[in-house]
Each structure stands twice: as C-alpha cells, then as structure tokens.
Amino acid sequence: MQTTAPTNVEGRLSETSVLNRERLLHDTTNVVLVGNPNVGKSSLFNDLTGLHQSVINAPGTTVEIFSGFNRNLGIRLIDTPGTYSLIPNSPDEAVAVETLAGVPGSLTDAGLQDGGVDLVVVILDATALSRSLYLLAQVGQTGLPVAVVLSMQDVAEKRGEAIDVDQLSCLLGVPVTSANARTGQGLDAVERMIENSLANPSYLAGLPWDKTAPGFNQAGYALAQASQTAVFEAESAENETTHPCGGTNCQPNSPSNRTLPTLVEGEVDEADRAAMIFDWIEKIETGLQEEKIEVPALSASDKVDRILLNPLAGTFVFMLAMYLVFWLANTFAAVFQDPLEGLFDAVGGWDFTVPAALLKIPFTDIGIPGQDVVLFHAPSLADGLVAVLTALGWEGGILQGILVDGLLTGVGVVVSFSPLMIVMFAAIAVMEDSGYMARVAFLGDRLMRTIGLDGRVIMPFIVGFGCNLPTLAALRTVPDSRSRMMAVVLTPYITCSARLIVYLFIAQVFFAEHATEVVWLMYFLSIVMVILGGLALRPIFMKGQKGAPLLLVLPAYQAPRAWVLARSAASRTWAFLKGAGKVIVVMTVVIWALMVTPVAGEGRFGDSLPANESAYGVVASAMATVFVPAGFGDWHLTGSLVTGFVAKETMLGALAATYTNADVTESDVEAAEGSGEATPTMRELVQTTFEKSAGSASAAPVAAFAFLLFVLTYTPCLATVAEQKRQLGWRRTLAAVGGQLAVAWVLAVTVFQIGKLFV
C-alpha cells in the first residue's frame, strides 16, 4: 500500500535551509534500523537508546517492534525485525516492509502525528557483504534517504577482509561509518552520521527508485522530489562544491553530485529486479576489489563448528550448557528468591540462607559439609506495615489483610521471580551474543519441524523444564510470529520444577516402590504432550505456510560483552515485572478475598477462616462435582488445584491447610511444601480422600495418577497466564487456558474411567 504526502510539503520545503533542515511533516523524527538477523542491529539500537526504549506490537499483529528515544539527537529510533529480504515470507518480515513503506495504520504512517520515515539506517555485515548489500539495494529503491553502518568490521579484519569504509561510501553514494555495538566503538560516529544525514539526506546511487518494489514509500519519494530544488538552491547560494558521494570526502574538489535516482513507473518483474540488484552488487564488490578466486582457509569459528554442529558432540555440549543454566537457575537464583519474597510478605522476618547444594561441586560431595547456612535474619515490609497499623490501632483488620496478605504477598511473588528471570535472560543473551544460539537452532531444527516449528524454539523449550516463565519470555525473540504464538500455547505442557514436588508427593503416597519411575513417566508424558499438541495446533497456526527450510546464517563466534548482557537481562526482566506483575498482584488479592469471605460458621469478613467455611471452600466444593468422573471430586483436592492455578508450589501447602480439623502439624505442611515429602499423617489423610472420591481403595491409585495428569496438563501458574496475555492478548490467552483445562479434564477422565476397569 502507498501513502501520499501532505499538499503543503513543497511550499514549506522551499522556505527551509537544507543544512538546517527541521522536521517538516510530523512532530517526531523517525529513524528506522534495518538489517539481517545477527548483524548487530539490536545491539546498536540498545546502545543508541539506552534505557529509553519500549516494546510494542505492530498494529494489527503480534509482531514486536522496539521503539526507543535518543536524547542526544532528539529522535526516535525504530528497530525492525531482522530480515534477509524485503520480499516478505512471514508476518515479521511483512512488518519490516510496512514500516519502511509507512502504510496506513503502521507505526510510521505518514498520516500520523508521530509517523513518517526520515531516515533508514541499514546495518551491513562486513563478513558477509554480498548478502547485506542485497537488502541495502532493496531499501535504496524505496525512495527513502539512507545511511549505512558497517558492523563486524573487527571480525573481517582478523580474516584479512576489512572493508574500505570511504571507498564503500563513495560507491554507494551515501554516508558509511563503521561501528562495533558490542564494544561501543564508533557509536559517536554513528550519531554524527545520523545527525548529518537528517540535515542533508542522501540516496543510494546506481539503482532507480521503483514504485512497485516492496517497501516503496510514496511520502518519502514526494519529499525527496520537493526538496531537490531547495537543495541545489542552498548549495548555489553557499557556493559549495565539495559534497560528492553522499557528503563524504572521497573525491575532494569534485563537483557536487546530488541528482536523485530515476523513478521506474511501470510494473517490474521480480526476476528482472533481482537481476538488476545482483548486477549492482557485482559492481560494488568490483569497486571494492572484493573478488577472490582462492578458497579461504577455515576460520576459527569454522573449526569450532566441526564439533558443535556434530549431531553427537554438539548435542553433548548443548546438554552440558543446559545443565549449567539449570544449575544457575535452580541453585544460585533460588538463593535470592525466598529472601526477596520474604522481604515483602514474611510476617516475623525473613532469613537469607545459603543452601548446602551451593557449597558443593556439582555431581560430587566435595565442598563445605553440613546443612543450609543462615547468614542473617531481617524484618520485612510486612512487619513494618503491621507495626504502623498497630500504632494506629488498625491491627488485624481488613485493611491489614488487604495490604499484607493480598498486596504485599502478590508483590513478593512477582519480585521473587526476578532472580530466576535475570539468570535465564543472561544465559540466553550469552548464547545469542556469542553466536552459539544459531548453532542450537541448527541442531534442534529437525526435531522441532515434526510439530511445525523450527530449531529456534528448542533452547527456550528446554529452559521450560526449569520454569515455564523464562521460556515464554525467551520466545519473544523468535522471528516468525506464527511459530512464536504456537510455541507460547504449547509451553504450559512442559513440566516445570514447581510441579515436581506434587509428582513426588503423590508418587510417595500411592506408588512408593516405583516413585522414581512415576516421576520419570510424567516428564516423558510432558514431551509427548508437546509433540501431540504441536501436531494438533499445526493446521491452525501454520495454515497456508509452506514448510520452507530454516534459513540461518551462522555468525562468527564472539566474546559476549558483560555490560550489554547485564542491561539486556535487566530490561527484559523489568518488562516482565511491569507486564505480568499487575495481573499476578490483582489475582493474589482476589484469592485472598475468597479465603477471608465467610459463607458458613460465625466468622466475619477478614478473619482467618477454616477453608471449608470460606468462599474459597465453596468454589472448591463446586468444582469438585466437575471432577467426579476423573476420580478426584473432593473439595480438598480441587481446592489445591485452585491454589495451584496461582502457583504450583503452593498446592501441597493448600492441600494440607484444608485438613483443619485433622491432626496436621506445621511440620507436615513444611515437609509437603518444601520437598514433596508425605509424612505419615498427610499420607493417611490423602489416601483416605482419594479412596473416598475414587469409590474404592483399589481405584484410588488410578485416581491419583489421573490427578497427576491433570496437574501436568492444566495451566502451570498465574504468572504464565500473565505472560501469555502480554504476548497473545486476552482473547487468545483465554482460549489457550480454556483449551488446556479441557484437554487436562478429558485426559484425567479417560485415564480414570478406563483404568478403574482393570483394578
């Protein structure tokens, strides 16, 4: 689609000095970044915008675009999805094209107050110049002013293939500068180039503009035509003759050369357009004397790839890497999770404890012997709030319940996720920045294609066995939006560590002699559910999409930059806390309200009520009827499922709390919550509950297994729902949650009804 420029553009241009060019069409100056995947575009965007950036969905899509503000220049930068071509093969690539074209309704719609495209900065890969030049040529045909940043120049220099920046600028007719976003080298030059290009726009030389080319911007073309006369008038008045080749000094004292490219009016066949671009690329490379006949020697990256891309050795290395990631998440990050949560909601203070596992070398007993080490004890915000309320004479009331048991508990749950998220995001960033992530995608591509996805989701999926939340967050980096949505829907079927204690508890009660095999079976069934779910969803999400092979360019290995990794992990974690945290806090307050609302007995609203006398108990009892066909239609069990919807790690504690009239001690609850251990008291109570709900003692193990299947397949926790909502929107999220609950119920009912026939 095409847009038209406002009718007063030409008149306003004629009154404006080109070298002091102000924003003419809109209030916001927009600079769009375009480049191939893994070329350093997003790193450059992060460095130019710092913390002044946000993530938005392109209008009408689930494709994410990063928008940021550069305070030095007073401009907005827009980071488009990485693409190899402007001929779109996916929604993400289509968004990049629409952003360049400024189509109506897009982020850069020229009809919007903050729309329009003032400059396109194309990032070229110095180690793969031909491929990058193809995208640059397509951008050059859109009618928009262009500037070029040359990345990976340091890697090219090590290979003896460094690009002459001045010569490249002269050949292209636009300004070119070299920058390394990973080290910060050349960022000042990039800002100066952008500033000069906005004041003095340049257009790619050697190729015509093409109205039928993808991404052609009608408003940009009209502005260029209108400004041409003003440009020459300004230069004649200043008697300037030293601005060839887009303003570089590669040919000092030569006449100014600002003739705009010609415009092709008629329809151009795509094959003819491609042939013309390839001819242009050949001329550029010839001008750079880049043609080489000899076969280059194997680089260091190529030698490493002989190991990491080997199906056996590469898989072994990947599993070791994943073990390290899980260790960091489950051991190191876990050190900070409980203290952070306790800092907010632990009435009576919280302990900072170093677990014994952290003090030993993995797979060995080497280390400091003994149990967990408590470093210090400190009061919480809840303690401070209770003290203030007590001083005011408002202790123990509804206000304390809302603030402490509702609000602070919800905030504590949200904040407790941050260490885990930071560790996982940092691990993912290391793999991305080092170039290893592309190799992981290559290794896992064949497996993922069996369910309609590609290898780029393999690493996030494996992370899900630790926690589903980092998986969902990591999937935001998957380029294809349809693959991303499908993977987001499948993620809850990956069994996380929070469900492990439930598996252990039930297995100890009903399958004591085969508890290990039962837990292993649940993990195996988790993988089966992902595969079956993918096969079922493939016709929905991938309808009409051809099974094209995964196109990946393996970047050279590089040492990750610590500051970039830290900032990336922090910004992604903060985005989660802001987005998902609101939903979690609200729902935590709702759950608290249900638990303190009396529906039986003599209690009052806000009192600590027995579970069966609260609205929470009523909801659990009402749900019990639904699960009678599954063999666990008892309010004790369904009540734990309701709490498990908020967080699976709370299921066993909630289950124990429902037995208020039994001899359940605090140690019973702690054993269940902490390690999934079934004490004799809890074992007897749970066995009796299942026997009653299943109808007989012989059918109780079948009902227990059906219960485990339901835990495996229904929604992992409220945090994952919040993150799904952030990526899919409420409509798709509710459909996904409803589908998961339906599948879980059908599986549980089927297993129980068939299983009890054989006992």
Dump pLDDT digits (tens) for 521-534: 888 899 899 989 98
Distance, in Å, from the CA atom of 98 to the CA atom of 108, rounded to the nearest integer, reads 8
Amino acid at 429: A
Distance, in Å, from the CA atom of 174 to the CA atom of 146, rounded to the nearest integer, reads 7
The answer to whether the annotation marks 39 as part of a ligand binding site is: yes
Please determine, for residue 490, whether its predicted confidence score (pLDDT) is greater than 70: yes
pLDDT of residue 252: 34
Q: Which residues make beta-bridge pairs with 263?
A: 209
Across the beta sheet with 119-125, the strand order is 53-57, 64-70, 75-79, 30-35, 119-125, 146-151, 176-178
The answer to whether the annotation marks 606 as part of a ligand binding site is: no
**Mean pLDDT score of the chain:** 77
Between 244 and 621, where is the model more confident?
621
DSSP 410-450: HHHHHHHTHHHHHHHHHHHHHHHHHTHHHHHHHHHHHHHHT
End residue of a domain, out of 479, 499, 519? 479
Nearest Cα residue to 420 out of 287, 327, 318:
327
End residue of a domain, out of 255, 287, 319? 287
The answer to whether the annotation marks 92 as part of a ligand binding site is: no
Continuous segment of H or E residues that includes residue 177: strand 176-178
Q: From residue 749, give the alpha-carbon distance in Å to each of 35, 532, 688, 716.
A: 51, 18, 20, 19
Q: Are 333 and 400 in contact (CB under 8 A)?
A: no
pLDDT above 70: percentage of residues in the chain: 78
Is 445 found in the same domain as 496? no
Q: Is residue 578 part of a domain?
A: no
Amino acid at 757: L
Q: Are 243 and 255 in contact (CB under 8 A)?
A: no
Q: Is residue 355 part of a domain?
A: yes
Q: Is residue 115 part of a domain?
A: yes
Residue 296 token pair: 């280059």
Q: Which residues make beta-bridge pairs with 60?
A: none
Residue 560 token pair: 């990750």
The answer to whether the annotation marks 49 as part of a ligand binding site is: yes
Please determine, for residue 572, whether its predicted confidence score (pLDDT) is greater than 50: yes
The answer to whether the annotation marks 41 as part of a ligand binding site is: yes
Confidence grade of residue 668 (pLDDT, cut at 50, 70, 90)? low
Q: Is residue 127 part of a domain?
A: yes
pLDDT in tens, 336-376: 877 887 888 788 888 887 777 666 665 556 666 667 778 88
Distance, in Å, from the CA atom of 292 to the CA atom of 758, rounded to the nearest integer, reads 73
The answer to whether the annotation marks 217 as part of a ligand binding site is: no
Q: What is the DSSP letter of 607?
A: S
Q: Are 70 and 77 in contact (CB under 8 A)?
A: yes
Q: Are 29 and 75 in contact (CB under 8 A)?
A: yes
Nearest Cα residue to 714 out of 666, 665, 643:
643
Please determine, for residue 21, whether its predicted confidence score (pLDDT) is greater than 70: no
pLDDT of residue 63: 61
| Residues in CB range of 568: below 8 A, 6 or more apart | 46, 425, 426, 429
pLDDT in tens, 186-198: 889 999 999 999 8
* Range of weakest confidence among 228-242, 400-414, 744-758: 228-242
The answer to whether the annotation marks 63 as part of a ligand binding site is: yes
pLDDT of residue 709: 95
pLDDT of residue 232: 46
The answer to whether the annotation marks 64 as part of a ligand binding site is: yes
The answer to whether the annotation marks 50 as part of a ligand binding site is: yes
The answer to whether the annotation marks 79 as part of a ligand binding site is: yes
Between 20 and 166, where is the model more confident?
166
| Residues in CB range of 100: below 8 A, 6 or more apart | 32, 34, 80, 86, 108, 117, 120, 139, 142, 144, 215, 217
Buried-exposed string 323-347: b where 16+ CB fall within 10 A, e elsewhere? eebbbbbbeebbbbbbbbbbbbbbb
| Dihedral sign for Cα atoms in the order 709, 713, 719, 721 | negative
Query: What is residue 377's three-state secondary structure?
Result: strand
* Range of weakest confidence among 65-74, 342-351, 473-482, 509-518: 473-482
Distance, in Å, from the CA atom of 530 to the CA atom of 520, rounded to the nearest integer, reads 16
pLDDT of residue 743: 94
Residue 595 token pair: 């638990």
pLDDT in tens, 140-165: 999 899 999 998 888 777 777 788 88
Please determine, for residue 11, whether its predicted confidence score (pLDDT) is greater than 60: no
Q: What is the DSSP letter of 408?
A: I
pLDDT in tens, 613-638: 778 778 888 888 899 999 999 888 98
Range of the domain at 124: 9-15+27-287
Is 495 found in the same domain as 473? no
Is 506 found in the same domain as 383? no
Judge residue 222's burial from the number of C-beta atoms within 10 Å of its C-beta, 0-12 exposed, 13-18 middle, 19 or more buried: buried
End residue of a domain, out of 479, 501, 516? 479
Q: In the predicted model, what is the mean pLDDT of residues 741-756?
A: 94
The answer to whether the annotation marks 61 as part of a ligand binding site is: yes
Is 189 found in the same domain as 126? yes
Alpha helices in 511-602 (DSSP H): 515-541, 562-595
Amino acid at 340: L
Q: In the predicted model, what is the mean pLDDT of residues 484-508?
A: 85
Confidence grade of residue 4 (pLDDT, cut at 50, 70, 90)? very low
Q: Which residues make beta-bridge pairs with 33?
A: 79, 121
Is 62 found in the same domain as 102? yes
Split into its structural domains, the chain has a count of 3
Q: Are 340 and 416 in contact (CB under 8 A)?
A: yes
pLDDT of residue 545: 62
CATH code, domain with 267 = 3.40.50.300
The answer to whether the annotation marks 517 as part of a ligand binding site is: no
Distance, in Å, from the CA atom of 752 to the CA atom of 678, rounded to the nearest integer, reads 23
Highest mean pLDDT, choosing among 229-233, 529-533, 565-569, 655-659:
529-533
Confidence grade of residue 239 (pLDDT, cut at 50, 70, 90)? very low
The answer to whether the annotation marks 750 as part of a ligand binding site is: no
Distance, in Å, from the CA atom of 716 to the CA atom of 12, rounded to the nearest integer, reads 59
Q: Are 124 and 150 in contact (CB under 8 A)?
A: yes
Q: Is residue 573 part of a domain?
A: no
Please determine, for residue 12, whether its predicted confidence score (pLDDT) is greater than 50: no
* Range of weakest confidence among 98-112, 293-307, 530-544, 658-672: 658-672
Is 213 found in the same domain as 318? no
Q: Are 638 and 632 in contact (CB under 8 A)?
A: yes
Please determine, for residue 647, whether its predicted confidence score (pLDDT) is greater than 60: yes
Q: Where are the beta strands (DSSP E) in 346-482?
A: 350-354, 373-378
* Residue in this structure with the two tokens 């609101």, named with its chain if needed: 582
Is 467 found in the same domain as 393? yes
Distance, in Å, from the CA atom of 281 to the CA atom of 285, rounded to the nearest integer, reads 6
Q: From residue 732, give the alpha-carbon distance in Å to each of 403, 405, 469, 486, 721.
A: 32, 31, 18, 11, 11
pLDDT of residue 632: 92
Query: What is residue 150's three-state secondary structure?
Result: strand
Query: What is residue 193's three-state secondary structure?
Result: helix
Confidence grade of residue 233 (pLDDT, cut at 50, 70, 90)? very low
Between 542 and 70, where is the model more confident?
70
pLDDT in tens, 281-312: 888 888 887 444 444 556 677 788 888 888 88
Q: In the predicted model, what is the mean pLDDT of residues 722-728?
A: 84
Q: Are 552 and 441 in contact (CB under 8 A)?
A: yes
Q: Is residue 661 part of a domain?
A: yes
* Range of weakest confidence among 247-251, 478-482, 538-542: 247-251
Highest mean pLDDT, choosing among 14-28, 274-288, 540-554, 659-673:
274-288
The total of other beta-carbon atoms located within 10 Å of residue 247's CB is 21
The answer to whether the annotation marks 688 as part of a ligand binding site is: no
Is 497 found in the same domain as 460? no
Q: Is residue 166 part of a domain?
A: yes
Is 413 found in the same domain as 332? yes
pLDDT of residue 361: 64
pLDDT of residue 619: 81
* Residue in this structure with the two tokens 């469900």, named with its chain if needed: 499
Confidence grade of residue 218 (pLDDT, cut at 50, 70, 90)? confident
The answer to whether the annotation marks 34 as part of a ligand binding site is: no
Q: In the predicted model, what is the mean pLDDT of residues 567-589?
A: 70
pLDDT in tens, 673-699: 555 556 677 788 889 999 999 999 999
Q: Which residues make beta-bridge pairs with 636?
A: none
Distance, in Å, from the CA atom of 163 to the CA atom of 290, rounded to the nearest integer, reads 9
Continuous segment of H or E residues that includes residue 31: strand 30-35
Buried-exposed string 689-706: b where 16+ CB fall within 10 A, e elsewhere? bbbebbeeeebbbbbbbb
pLDDT of residue 739: 93
Please determine, for residue 266, whether its predicted confidence score (pLDDT) is greater than 90: no
Distance, in Å, from the CA atom of 236 to the CA atom of 17, rounded to the nearest integer, reads 12
DSSP 321-349: HHHHHHHIIIIIHHHHHHHHHHHHH-TT-
pLDDT of residue 661: 53
pLDDT in tens, 444-474: 777 777 777 877 787 778 777 777 877 887 7
Q: In the predicted model, what is the mean pLDDT of residues 554-559?
A: 73
pLDDT of residue 544: 63
Is 335 found in the same domain as 249? no
Is 158 found in the same domain as 264? yes
Q: What is the dihedral of CA 409, 616, 731, 57, to 10 degrees?
A: 0
Distance, in Å, from the CA atom of 50 to the CA atom of 65, rounded to the nearest integer, reads 16
Q: Which residues make beta-bridge pairs with 65?
A: 56
pLDDT above 90: percentage of residues in the chain: 14
Amino acid at 109: D
The answer to whether the annotation marks 272 as part of a ligand binding site is: no
Q: Are 626 and 757 in contact (CB under 8 A)?
A: no
Amino acid at 335: V
pLDDT of residue 1: 33
pLDDT of residue 145: 92
pLDDT of residue 302: 75
Q: Please calculate the CA angle 159-160-164 and round it to the nearest 5 degrees.
A: 120
Confidence grade of residue 20 (pLDDT, cut at 50, 70, 90)? very low
Q: Is residue 257 part of a domain?
A: yes
Amino acid at 368: I
Please determine, for residue 248, whether its predicted confidence score (pLDDT) is greater than 60: no
Nearest Cα residue to 77 out of 36, 127, 118:
118
Is 280 found in the same domain as 332? no
**What does the radius of gyration of the chain's CA atoms come to, in whole angstroms?**
31
Q: In the predicted model, what is the mean pLDDT of residues 332-337?
A: 75
Distance, in Å, from the CA atom of 86 to the CA atom of 103, rounded to the nearest integer, reads 14
Q: From residue 544, give the alpha-carbon distance in Å to each of 90, 483, 540.
A: 11, 13, 9
